[in-house]
């Protein structure tokens, strides 16, 4: 699509959102042209806060399915629409509620902390939910004598063990996008760009994190924390180890600074399934409502509300 066609479609989307009284929320990994029509762009935690805070009756969620589902659970009186219901998440798919029930039965009395990248059914089996933005605070809020089952991301789990000093029992799931950012990618940049700060998402592979811990130019951050860090830092150059959609947001928020992807291949195909055309169709036709079975939603809400309450 040429620039004019994109701008025309964006105008149509904004007009339809006004007519419908809808708020558009977009994740930091969304396509640039989708981020640009959103009322709010942010990470999983920020989007949950925005969903809860909005006065709008309809939320159009530009992100993957578990994120829209989380908004639907937090806001049972609002209509949550997703432009493509097939926008999944390989990490969320790495554990089912049945697998979690079995795991819990092997560890009676343990506290279950689920990353937000999970289905509603898995959240309903959990005591706490967390995002990369508050995972550390959630773990630290749990009394030290409790065993914690942490799921589903093993790299985030290992990072949490390091920063909290707690021993966690960790599910062996991973995000294929972040696991694909290899230690060699980091190493290359460490030598080629000694003047740059390195921003690493905690879902990235364990080996790259271990190396990354070796110097004070490296920062393990959620996507929103990366934006905050880059805008507040006096530094000019940043290497970014996460999904490359974040580069658009970083460039918008910190114009004049330089942001480079550690791996150009770090693309989440699910996030990219949300296109401007699909956002337009969703708003025009009111389609792809995300709804969660009431019993599951009621059980999952407690864990999610605990997540939203812990900053
Ligand atoms: P954030 O919570 O940092 O936005 O990350 C979400 C996600 O899906 C990372 O892959
Ligand atoms: Fe899921 Fe990974 Fe995509 Fe994030 S980047 S939505 S964890 S598949």
Per-residue tens of pLDDT for the chain, all 311 residues: 899 999 999 999 999 999 999 999 999 999 999 999 999 999 988 999 999 999 999 999 999 999 999 999 999 999 999 999 999 999 999 999 999 999 999 999 999 999 999 999 999 999 999 999 899 999 999 999 999 999 999 999 999 998 999 999 999 999 999 999 988 888 888 788 889 999 999 999 866 666 666 778 889 999 999 999 999 999 999 999 999 999 999 999 999 999 999 999 999 999 999 999 999 999 999 999 999 999 999 999 999 999 989 87
**Predicted pLDDT of residue 206:** 63
Structure-token match 């990353």, residue found: 115
Is it true that the peptide bond before 218 is cis, omega within 30 degrees of 0? no
**Predicted pLDDT of residue 311:** 73
CB-neighbour burial class of residue 26 (10 A; exposed 0-12, middle 13-18, buried 19+): buried
44 lines ligand 1 (CB under 6 A): yes
Atom of ligand 1 nearest to the CA of 116: 2
- Between helix 44-53 and helix 65-74 the angle, nearest 10°, is 30
30 lines ligand 1 (CB under 6 A): no
223 lines ligand 1 (CB under 6 A): yes
Sequence-separated (6 or more) residues with CB below 8 Å from residue 297: 72, 73, 76, 120, 124
Q: Which ligand is nearest to the CA of 42?
A: 1
**Predicted pLDDT of residue 217:** 87
**Predicted pLDDT of residue 207:** 62
Atom of ligand 2 nearest to the CA of 269: 3
Pocket test for ligand 1, best of 221, 222, 269, 270 (most atoms within 8 A of CB): 222
**Predicted pLDDT of residue 208:** 63
Backbone dihedral angles phi then psi of residue 116, each to the nearest 5 degrees: -60, -20
- Cα(109) to ligand 2 centroid in Å equals 30
Pocket test for ligand 2, best of 114, 115, 175 (most atoms within 8 A of CB): 175
* Beta bridge partners of residue 148, listed in sequence order: 111
- Cα(91) to ligand 2 centroid in Å equals 6
Atom of ligand 1 nearest to the CA of 45: 2
């Amino acid at each position: 699509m040429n620039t004019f066609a994109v701008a025309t479609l964006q105008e149509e989307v904004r007009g339809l959102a006004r007519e419908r009284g809808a708020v558009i929320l977009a994740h930091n990994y969304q396509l640039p042209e989708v981020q640009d029509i959103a009322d709010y762009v942010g990470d999983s935690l920020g989007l949950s806060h925005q969903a809860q805070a909005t006065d709008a009756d309809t939320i159009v969620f530009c992100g993957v399915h578990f994120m829209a589902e989380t908004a639907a659970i937090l806001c049972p009186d609002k209509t949550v629409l997703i432009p493509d219901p097939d926008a999944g998440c390989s990490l969320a798919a790495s554990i089912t509620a049945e697998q979690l029930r079995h795991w819990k039965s092997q560890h009676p009395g343990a506290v279950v902390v689920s990353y937000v990248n999970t289905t509603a059914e898995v959240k309903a089996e959990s005591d706490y939910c967390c995002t990369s933005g508050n995972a550390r605070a959630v773990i630290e809020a749990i009394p030290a004598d409790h065993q914690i089952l942490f799921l589903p991301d093993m790299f985030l789990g290992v990072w949490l063990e390091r920063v909290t000093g707690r021993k966690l029992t960790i599910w062996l799931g991973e995000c294929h996008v972040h696991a694909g950012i290899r230690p060699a990618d980091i190493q290359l940049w460490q030598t080629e760009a000694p003047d740059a700060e390195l921003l690493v998402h905690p879902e990235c592979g364990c080996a790259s994190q271990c190396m990354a811990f070796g110097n004070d130019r490296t920062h393990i951050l959620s996507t929103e924390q990366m934006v905050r860090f880059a805008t507040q830092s006096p530094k000019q150059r940043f290497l970014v180890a996460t999904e490359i959609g974040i580069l658009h947001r970083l460039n918008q928020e910190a114009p004049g600074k330089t942001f480079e992807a550690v791996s150009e291949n770090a693309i989440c195909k699910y996030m990219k399934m949300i296109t401007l055309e699909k956002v337009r169709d969703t708003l025009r036709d009111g389609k792809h409502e995300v709804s969660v079975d009431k019993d599951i939603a009621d059980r999952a809400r407690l864990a999610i509300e605990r997540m939203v309450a812990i900053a």
